[in-house]
Amino acid sequence: MTILLTTSDVATIVALQGPRKVCTDLLDYVLADFLRWQEFDKCARVASHSATGVIELMPAADNELYSFKFVNGHPDNPQAGLSTVMAFGALAQVSTGEPLLISELTLTTALRTAVTSALAARALARPGSRSMALIGNGAQAEFQALAFHYILGIDTLHVYDVDAGATRKLEHNLASVPGLRIVRFDGVASAVKGVDIVTTVTADKAYATILTGDMIEPGMHINALGGDCPGKTELHADVLRAGSVFVEYEPQTRIEGDLQQMPADFPVTELWRVLTGQAGGRRSAGEVTIFDSVGFALEDFSALRWLRDSAARHGIGARIEVAPALQDPKGLFNVVRTARTGQPALVQR
């Protein structure tokens, strides 16, 4: 039997553990897999683009487990009462192909994206960073804020969104977080002035320039998330030229990230090499570092492992029949034949 986790199930796991423990535990799973990067079968995600958005399939596997995520990105969905991003995924046994877990990944994607951002910033931002500007206050914003607060100790958050309602929503949701001060701004330039870290997480599928070169100050760490498909950017090219650029999986980021604006030989460093000590990260307090993050399937692999273990620990999830457990493994037709007679064709597990 396969374990099924709904959005309510995942929300219950988060509620039982609390946001701080979720952030730190999930980060440990993501870090552990980045540290064994070369053990994975990896590829850029398979994307189907349309005029209104994109649908993507994101697979990853090691010698034991295979995972995939189905995810969309449709910026106009909120006008129809739908989430911009919706996702689900699965974890399977490599040795047999048996599906072990099927789970929602909309909420989980926001969680894993946030902890990956914090993991990169922990390696790349100035030590002692305490302030962050959060540009784009939509569905993922609270998760980014909490991950940076709990993992890096960010205590001052500058917030801005073209949608004032989104900012009010963010302020309301984070108002009770101890030790986190939220300051609202009326523009990007004023919000990013003087902060240690800038996180951009906007949704428009457009060549946008949310950050321009004149906004960048020495020592800043830029955590750019919204430029995550062809034809969609957040950073002016001058921002990328202003510092050292780090990515998850270079072949994918070259196509989808803000990096798509740059020539093929523009230098970047994959994050796993910094985390394993094979490449340097920040070289000085005044250096600008940029994490051009588009989201990579390995992060979903890590998140699905965390969900599997958390669900087992808390006894959460329904057991469902996805693949038949046949009395005769070659007798698949018996499932149809015996459905009419009431005779069992399946093994009860």
Model pLDDT, residue 107: 97
What are the tens digits of pLDDT across the range 155-174? 999 999 999 999 999 999 99
**How would residue 342 be classed by pLDDT, with cut points 50, 70 and 90?**
low
Model pLDDT, residue 203: 82
Tell me which DSSP letter residue 39 carries: G
Contact between 119 and 186 under an 8 Å Cβ cutoff? The reply is: no
For every residue of 82-93, DSSP letters joined together read --S--EEEEEEE
Two tokens at 228? Answer: 């995550």
Chain-centre distance of CA 160, in angstroms? Answer: 21
Contact between 229 and 253 under an 8 Å Cβ cutoff? The reply is: no
Contact between 289 and 124 under an 8 Å Cβ cutoff? The reply is: yes
User: What is the distance between the alpha carbons of residues 5 and 3, in angstroms, rounded to a whole number?
Assistant: 7
Look at residue 336 and tell me whether its pLDDT is greater than 90. no
Residue with tokens 């196509």: 255
Q: What is the mean pLDDT of residues 191-195?
A: 98
Reported as type and span, the H/E element at residue 221 is strand 221-224
Q: What is the mean pLDDT of residues 102-113?
A: 97
Nearest to 198 by CA among 257, 167, 248, 156: 156
Look at residue 86 and tell me whether its pLDDT is greater than 70. yes
What are the tens digits of pLDDT across the range 299-331? 999 999 999 999 999 999 999 999 888 889 898
Q: Show the DSSP H helices in the chain as ranges.
A: 7-17, 19-34, 106-124, 141-152, 164-174, 188-192, 237-241, 250-256, 271-275, 297-314, 333-341
For every residue of 332-346, DSSP letters joined together read THHHHHHHHHT---B
**How would residue 340 be classed by pLDDT, with cut points 50, 70 and 90?**
confident
Look at residue 204 and tell me whether its pLDDT is greater than 90. no
Model pLDDT, residue 235: 97
Hey, is 206 helix, strand or coil? coil
Query: Any catalytic annotation for residue 9?
Result: no
Q: Flag the least confident range among 29-33, 111-115, 135-139, 200-204.
A: 200-204
Kindly report each contact of residues 35-40 with a partner whose C-beta sits within 8 Å and lies 24 or more positions away, as own/partner: 35/272, 35/275, 35/276, 36/62, 37/270, 37/272, 37/276, 37/298, 39/63, 40/298, 40/301
> Percent of the chain beyond pLDDT 90?
89
Look at residue 268 and tell me whether its pLDDT is greater than 90. yes
Of the candidates 9, 33, 196, 228, the residue annotated as catalytic is: 228
**How would residue 348 be classed by pLDDT, with cut points 50, 70 and 90?**
low
Sign of CA dihedral 123, 170, 299, 25: positive
